[in-house]
Chain A
Amino acid sequence: MTSLPATTAMTERYTAVAIALHWATAVSIVGLVVAGVWMVNAIKSPDTATRAAAYDTYQLHKSLGLTVLVLSIVRLIWRLIHRAPPMPAGMTPFQRKAAHGTHVLFYVLMIGMPLAGWAMVSASKFGLPTIVFGLFEWPHIGWVENLADKDAAETAFKAAHKYMGYGLAALLALHVGAALKHHFVDRDGVLARMVPGLRARDTHQV
């Protein structure tokens, strides 16, 4: 079905750095989504222990979110100076565009969402500092902190953060679904490009 050179190109992996960054952000993002969904309700709980745990979770969420911000910027720079392995030859132009669009949107959200979170923390009337993993203080965004109407700004950044979160969760489902489809249905080795140790289920070669 496909020619041999194309098959070898398919099994080409992302660089080790790209793979490490992908999985570090992947684990962080899943943790952030789970923590985020839980804590926004738990912080209002009448149970004091739940509320206290939610406060701690907020602090962890902020630290992890900033980690994703930094990692994603590093990752984007890395992506721009390193070629990604080519897509399998069997993909239609629509699939290629969809794959590329998904990845671009991921970068937009992985950078935009923590920025919105950082902005809403900076706009909060509580003025609580962000101590990254309890180690050092991450500053507030000065111009946001000094806005005349911080409450309105906080509401806007909160909404942005929330809807980007929904978008990210949907994108994540699409991304994982597509990866599994490539692996189990198309069997074109796409998943193996990002999963160390995984071999392409390359039945075309046989």
Chain B
Amino acid sequence: MIQSHYSAARVIALALIVILSSVPLSASSASATTWTVVQGESSIGFAGTHAGRAFKGTFERWQADIKFDPADLATAKAKVTVELGSAKTGDTTYDKTLPTIDWFNIAKTPAGVFETSAFRSVGGNKFEADGDLAIRGFKIPVKFAFEFTANGDTGKLVGKTQIKRLDFAIGKGSDEPGEWVALDIPVVVQVSLKKA
């Protein structure tokens, strides 16, 4: 009896080892493709108006972890981290104001983070990602619509979303009514990708 108990335990232990070791195996064998961003050909831009004039800006420093395969959206995942202090509009008065306490408040929260939770296809090479955007300590659900085209080892992702700056209390103390700075800020993302 002792002998058979012992062998049963061995079988269970063996089975556990097989099951446990197959968990990471099955995850890595999924078809999600890991992409790296070609920084020189990629940009995250924003736009708006101030005092009657349109402005455009980009974030000079950001990075993204992207796992995406159009054929397997269930495993797709993206996390984008943007250094908010790297926003450049070409107007020094804006560039020096954006990092301050009432705007991005980079002293407290230097990064803005977008993390996806679900992807879906909306036909052809068009997709939508649901995710949370965290800026200034506020986390707001954001829908990101994009087009994705793959060509061998390279890919291209072009997408946009619209942010309501007051959702993140950006410029709330300075201009809550949006009398000076537009309340709706479109964000445009253009990313060149290379298979990792």
- Residue A50 interfacial (CB < 8 Å): yes
B residues 167-196 near A (Cβ < 8 Å) are 173-175, 180
In Å, the complex CA distance between A55 and B180 comes to 11
Evaluate contact between B93 and A43: CB separation under 8 angstroms. Answer: no
- Bitwise interface map of B from 51 to 69 toward A, beta carbon under 8 Å scored 1, else 0: 1110000000000000000
In Å, the complex CA distance between A67 and B152 comes to 60
Evaluate contact between A127 and B97: CB separation under 8 angstroms. Answer: yes
In Å, the complex CA distance between A131 and B93 comes to 7
- B14 → chain A, closest Cβ, in Å? 67
- Residue A51 interfacial (CB < 8 Å): yes
Which residue of chain B has the shortest Cβ distance to A59 in the bound complex?
B93
- A137 → chain B, closest Cβ, in Å? 7
- Bitwise interface map of A from 36 to 79 toward B, beta carbon under 8 Å scored 1, else 0: 00000001010111111011000100000000000000000000
Contact of A52 among B52, B100, B174 (CB under 8 A): B52
In Å, the complex CA distance between A47 and B51 comes to 10
Given contacts A125-B173, A127-B174, contact A52 B96 (CB under 8 A): no
In Å, the complex CA distance between A49 and B54 comes to 10
Contact of A54 among B51, B96, B102 (CB under 8 A): B51
- Residue A5 interfacial (CB < 8 Å): no
In Å, the complex CA distance between A129 and B93 comes to 6
Contact of A48 among B53, B96, B97 (CB under 8 A): B53
In Å, the complex CA distance between A183 and B174 comes to 52
- Residue B4 interfacial (CB < 8 Å): no
In Å, the complex CA distance between A131 and B180 comes to 19
Contact of A129 among B51, B52, B92, B175 (CB under 8 A): B92
In Å, the complex CA distance between A23 and B173 comes to 42
Which residue of chain A has the shortest Cβ distance to B92 in the bound complex?
A131
The 7 closest A-B pairs by CB, nearest first: A51-B52, A48-B52, A52-B53, A55-B51, A129-B96, A52-B52, A131-B92
Please, could you name 19 A-B residue pairs with CB atoms under 8 Å apart, sorted by A?
Answer: A43-B51, A45-B52, A48-B49, A48-B53, A49-B52, A51-B51, A52-B52, A54-B51, A55-B50, A55-B52, A59-B93, A126-B175, A127-B97, A127-B102, A127-B174, A128-B93, A129-B92, A137-B92, A137-B96
A contact residues vs B (CB 8 Å cutoff): 43, 45, 47-52, 54-55, 59, 125-129, 131, 134, 137
B contact residues vs A (CB 8 Å cutoff): 49-53, 92-93, 96-97, 100, 102, 173-175, 180
What 5 additional pairs, Cβ within 8 angstroms, besides A45-B52, A51-B52, A128-B97?
Answer: A48-B52, A55-B52, A126-B175, A129-B92, A137-B96
